[in-house]
Amino acid sequence: MRFSKLFAPTTKDAPKDATLPSHIFLVRGGFINQTGSGLYNFMPLGKIVLEKIRQIVKDEMDKAGAQEISMNFVTSAELWQQSGRYEVFGKELLRFRDRKDNEFVLSPTNEEVVVDIVRNRVNSYKQLPLHLYQITTKFRDEARPRFGLLRGREFVMKDGYSFHANSDDLKREFDLMEQTYSRIFTRLGLNFRAVAADSGAIGGSGSKEFMVLAQNGEDDILICDKCQYAANVEAAKRAKKTSDKEPPKADFAKFHTPISADSSIEQLSGFFKIDPFYTVKAVIKKAIYKNKSEIVVFFVRGSDSLQEVKAINAAAALELCDASAEEISKAGLVAGFCGPVGLENVKFFIDNELKEEKNLICGANEPSYHHVGVSMFNFKPERYADLVSVEAGDLCPHCGGRLSLTKGIEVGHIFQLGQKYSSAMNATFLDQNGKTQPFFMGCYGIGVSRLVAVMIEASHDEKGCIWNKQSAPYTLDIIISNVKNEAQNAFALKLYQELKSERKEVLLDDRNERFGFKMNDFELIGFPYALIIGKEFDEGKVELVERATLKKELIEIEKLHARLNEVF
Ligand code: ATP
Ligand code: MG
């Protein structure tokens, strides 16, 4: 490609709302442009990068035996009603009607459609396993679209769906996808981890996220310093926490505590002169369900905090919001003095780590009273759930190593769905014993357009993008320092044509612009290398610049070919 013909409208100005390097440099470098909130066009350079990433994803998916298809972007609401997700998906799902008043959605993910494709077409275990995937546009009406391509509303995702005759085969495919994803992100040169994850609205059991470690990530992940354990905070586990502080000793009793209802845990433990570890705190929330809402109480140690996603899962709610003082008292709860003992007519959950504990201090459900010497063993098993937010410094659940907190950007998510969608949508096959069974399913997503931005979050400097060879729009930018110099021009053109005929990814900057202007574009766009045909050309030398280090190297023209072979 000749730069003089390339549509790459670079600018000095960053978008007003842009804070992240990938957002700033992709817009300034003329890769993408914004047309609305969370809506971006891909211009030629952006499109080349997107296609390169898509190609790597496709190559590895095909090698793993998956088959590419293309499903509708517009999907009938009827299918979403069959799975039961039409009501529960929330506002991210864009619903609309056509001229005949039929209801539709813009696909945010495609479990329903793929189940509809497979049911009644695959009837026997002999036709399994089957893995279908696509790399297409998705739409999610995100509450806060931001950070450019990292969180758009319209974006490109690879979504794959596998069908199996039993859960062992599903597990095998899940492991194969973990390896496939690892290969994809390794080929892209990314520093990533597969982490234990919450399954969110997609559902099912057993899921892993692929996180690229990056300062600007939106996700908090905990990583063990000794073993491979890594988890999203939303799903992180820890070795049961203990305390070397003296536990309070008292028989079970009600105790007058003349402290105000909005006292902190520190004030309460100060009053009893004990460590907050031995107190129990009540977090009162309003849980939102499909057709109702309800007050729910979560009990965790005073020294712990409630992890919201774990709490949502325990309560099987769609979401949790803060409860008003009025709603709390209407539910019969005494704010500031709420405890599990004798709590009736209210749904409540107790953190798993409290299950076998005794000598605790909790609210007595009466103003200005607490219970002391409380044992936690006598509640129904369904009251206990994993509720705590695991923090940096907590111990690894596998090896006892220390967990530390880092930031990650989610680039992929793989799920073992099991029979959730196939049973809801009545998609069955005949198993080896001639018995009808719903398919066992897995689903596997990769944020393909998000990856374009992730490449730059992972690799940039204050001047602009630094692409690696796997994702760069062109590997080499041949810059003619002065296009009016005929010898420079002729040499550059001949080299460019040779390299092109060898199918090398090369750009020729033949624009009639100042040298400094062209160098700025090179640094902003971030091709891995520039070859400058400039002032040393008369002495038989050209200059190679490596974008990552900005190191310059003078090369004698006779040795150029060999050196360029290394570059490519
Ligand atoms: P997130 O927690 O970041 O919203 P998610 O859990 O909703 O992601 P999935 O439903 O697992 O995402 O979608 C699969 C992949 O699609 C994600 O791993 C991510 O890389 C990408 N993705 C999801 N939402 C967006 C978005 N709004 N913009 C760009 N990519 C996205
Ligand atoms: Mg999301």
| Cα-to-centroid distance, 167 and ligand 2 (Å) | 27
| Cα-to-centroid distance, 138 and ligand 2 (Å) | 12
Half-sphere exposure of 127 (CA within 13 A, CB side): 12
Pick the ligand that lies closest to the CA of residue 153: 1
User: 533 near 542, Cβ under 8 Å?
Assistant: yes
In a mutational test of the pocket of ligand 1, which residue from 153, 157, 195, 218 has the highest number of ligand atoms less than 8 Å from its CB? 157
Kind plus residue range of the DSSP H or E element containing 486: helix 486-501
In degrees, rounded to 5, the angle at the alpha carbon of residue 88 between the alpha carbons of residues 84 and 94 is 100
Kind plus residue range of the DSSP H or E element containing 551: strand 551-556
No. of H helices and E strands in the chain?
A: 14, 31
pLDDT the model gives residue 354 = 96
DSSP letter (8 states) at residue 359? S
| Cα-to-centroid distance, 451 and ligand 1 (Å) | 11
Alpha carbon nearest to ligand 1 atom 7, residue: 200
- Kindly tell me the sign of the dihedral angle through the C-alpha atoms of 397, 398, 404, 409: negative
Does the Cβ of 159 fall within 6 Å of ligand 1? no
Residue 120 main-chain phi, psi, to 5 deg: 70, -5
The CB density around residue 101, as the number of other CB atoms within 10 Å, is: 6
Distance CA 516, CA 396 (A): 53
In degrees, rounded to 5, the angle at the alpha carbon of residue 292 between the alpha carbons of residues 138 and 285 is 90
| Cα-to-centroid distance, 291 and ligand 2 (Å) | 23
Does the Cβ of 298 fall within 6 Å of ligand 1? no
Pick the ligand that lies closest to the CA of residue 220: 1
Instruction: Profile the chain (568 residues) by mean pLDDT over runs of 10 residues.
Output: 97 92 98 96 98 98 98 97 91 96 97 96 97 98 95 98 97 97 98 86 74 92 91 93 89 91 90 94 94 95 96 94 94 94 93 94 94 92 96 95 95 95 97 97 98 97 97 98 94 97 97 96 98 95 97 96 95
Does the Cβ of 152 fall within 6 Å of ligand 1? yes
pLDDT the model gives residue 287 = 96
Distance CA 59, CA 158 (A): 12
Closest to 253 in 3D by CA, of 368, 365, 364, 367 = 364
Q: Which domains does the chain have, with CATH numbers?
A: 21-70+109-237+404-457 (3.30.930.10), 253-385 (3.90.960.10), 476-567 (3.40.50.800)
The CB density around residue 327, as the number of other CB atoms within 10 Å, is: 15
Alpha helices for 354-425 (secondary structure H): 420-424
| 336 φψ region: left (φ > 0), alpha (ψ -120 to 50), beta (else) | left
Does the Cβ of 157 fall within 6 Å of ligand 1? yes
Instruction: Name the CA radius of gyration of the chain, rounded.
Output: 29
| Cα-to-centroid distance, 179 and ligand 2 (Å) | 23
| Cα-to-centroid distance, 224 and ligand 2 (Å) | 26
pLDDT the model gives residue 249 = 85
DSSP secondary structure string, 292-346?
-EEEEEEEEETTS-B-HHHHHHHHT-SEEEEPPHHHHHHTT--TTS--STT--SS
Distance CA 94, CA 109 (A): 12
Does the Cβ of 46 fall within 6 Å of ligand 1? no
Say which residues have a Cβ less than 8 Å from residue 153's Cβ, sequence separation at least 6. 37, 38, 39, 139, 140, 141, 142, 145
Distance CA 451, CA 471 (A): 10
Specify the pTM: 0.89
| Cα-to-centroid distance, 151 and ligand 2 (Å) | 8
Distance CA 459, CA 151 (A): 19
Does the Cβ of 204 fall within 6 Å of ligand 1? no
How far is residue 162 from each of residues 28, 159, 416, 426, 465, measured CA to CA in Å? 40, 10, 9, 16, 37
Residue 169: exposure state from Cβ atoms within 10 A (0-12, 13-18, ≥19): middle
How far is residue 71 from each of residues 4, 61, 337, 557, measured CA to CA in Å? 38, 17, 54, 52
Does the Cβ of 140 fall within 6 Å of ligand 1? yes
